[in-house]
Amino acid sequence: MSASSKTHVVIAGGGTAGWMAAAALTRVMKDRVSVTLVESSDIGTVGVGEATIPTLVFFHKLLRISEQEFMAATNATFKLGIQFENWTDIGHQYLHAFGVTGKDSWAAGFQHFWLRGQQEGLATDFGDYCLERQAAESGRFAHLPNNGLNYAFHIDASRYAAFLRQLAEQEGLTRIDAKIEKVSRRAEDGHIDSLHLDNGEVISGDFFIDCTGFQGLLIEKALHTGYEDWSHWLPCDSAVAVQTESVAPPLPYTRCIAHDAGWQWRIPLQHRVGNGMVFCSQYKSDDEIIGNLLSQVQGQVLNEPKVIKFRTGRRRKQWNRNCLALGLASGFLEPLESTSIHLIQQNIVRFLRMFPAANQIHQQDIDEFNRQADFDIEHIRDFIILHYHVTNRTDSPFWRHCRQMDVPASLRHRIDLFRHTGRVFREGSELFDDSWQQVMIGQGLRPASYHPLVDTMSRQELEAFLGQIRQQITHTITKLPPHEDYLKRYIRR
Q: Are residues 247 and 300 in the same domain?
A: yes
Q: Are residues 319 and 225 in the same domain?
A: yes
% pLDDT > 90, the chain: 92
Band the pLDDT of 107: cuts 50, 70, 90: confident
In this predicted model, what pLDDT tens digit does every residue of 402-415 receive, in sequence order?
999 999 999 999 99
In this predicted model, what pLDDT tens digit does every residue of 263-277 receive, in sequence order?
999 999 998 999 999
Band the pLDDT of 153: cuts 50, 70, 90: very high
Say yes or no to pLDDT of 230 above 80. Answer: yes
Q: Are residues 263 and 295 in the same domain?
A: yes
Q: What is the pLDDT of residue 358?
A: 66
Q: Are residues 296 and 204 in the same domain?
A: no
Average pLDDT, the chain: 95
Q: Are residues 182 and 305 in the same domain?
A: no
Strand-pair category, 93-97 with 81-85: antiparallel
Q: Are residues 353 and 341 in the same domain?
A: yes
Identify residue 334 by its one-letter amino acid code: E
Domain hosting residue 243, numbered range? 238-309
More confident residue, 45 or 376: 376
Say yes or no to pLDDT of 114 above 80. Answer: yes
In a domain, 212, yes or no: yes
Q: What is the largest CA-CA distance in the chain?
A: 79
In a domain, 204, yes or no: yes
Q: Are residues 26 and 171 in the same domain?
A: yes
Domain harbouring 215, CATH code: 3.50.50.60
Q: Are residues 247 and 304 in the same domain?
A: yes
In a domain, 162, yes or no: yes
3-state secondary structure the chain: CCHHHCEEEEEECCHHHHHHHHHHHHHHCCCCEEEEEEECCCCCCCCCCCECCCHHHHHHHHCCCCHHHHHHHHCCEEECEEEEECCCCCCCEEEEECCCCCCCCCCCCHHHHHHHHHHCCCCCCHHHHCHHHHHHHHCECCCCHHHCCCCEEECCHHHHHHHHHHHHHHCCCEEEECCEEEEEECCCCCCEEEEEECCCCEEECCEEEECCHHHCCCCCCCCCCCEEECCCCCCCCEEEEEEEECCCCCCCCEEEEEECCEEEEEEECCCEEEEEEEECCCCCCHHHHHHHHHHHCCCCECCCCEEEECCCEEECCCEECCEEECHHHCEECCHHHCCHHHHHHHHHHHHHHCCCCCCCCCHHHHHHHHHHHHHHHHHHHHHHHHHHHCCCCCCCHHHHHHHHCCCCHHHHHHHHHHHHHCCCCCCCCCCCCHHHHHHHHHCCCCCCCCCHHHHHCCHHHHHHHHHHHHHHHHHHHCCCCEHHHHHHHHHCC
Q: Are residues 223 and 327 in the same domain?
A: yes
Say yes or no to pLDDT of 49 above 80. Answer: no
Say yes or no to pLDDT of 158 above 80. Answer: yes
In a domain, 130, yes or no: no
Residue 382's region, left for phi above 0, alpha for psi from -120 to 50, else beta, is: alpha
Say yes or no to pLDDT of 1 above 60. Answer: no
Q: Are residues 160 and 304 in the same domain?
A: no
Q: What average pLDDT does this structure show over 288-297?
A: 96
Say yes or no to pLDDT of 46 above 60. Answer: no
In this predicted model, what pLDDT tens digit does every residue of 429-479 receive, in sequence order?
888 889 999 999 999 999 999 999 999 999 999 999 999 999 999 999 999
More confident residue, 392 or 107: 392
In a domain, 8, yes or no: yes
Q: Among positive and negative, which fits the CA dihedral 317, 213, 355, 201? A: positive
Residues in CB range of 459: below 8 A, 6 or more apart? 120, 122
Q: Are residues 163 and 300 in the same domain?
A: no
Q: What average pLDDT does this structure show over 245-259?
A: 97
Band the pLDDT of 493: cuts 50, 70, 90: low
Q: What is the pLDDT of residue 106?
A: 77
In a domain, 294, yes or no: yes
Band the pLDDT of 71: cuts 50, 70, 90: very high
Q: Are residues 256 and 210 in the same domain?
A: no
Q: What average pLDDT does this structure show over 316-328?
A: 98
Say yes or no to pLDDT of 99 above 80. Answer: yes
Q: What is the pLDDT of residue 356?
A: 87
% pLDDT > 70, the chain: 98
In a domain, 318, yes or no: yes
Q: How many domains does the chain have?
A: 2
In a domain, 327, yes or no: yes
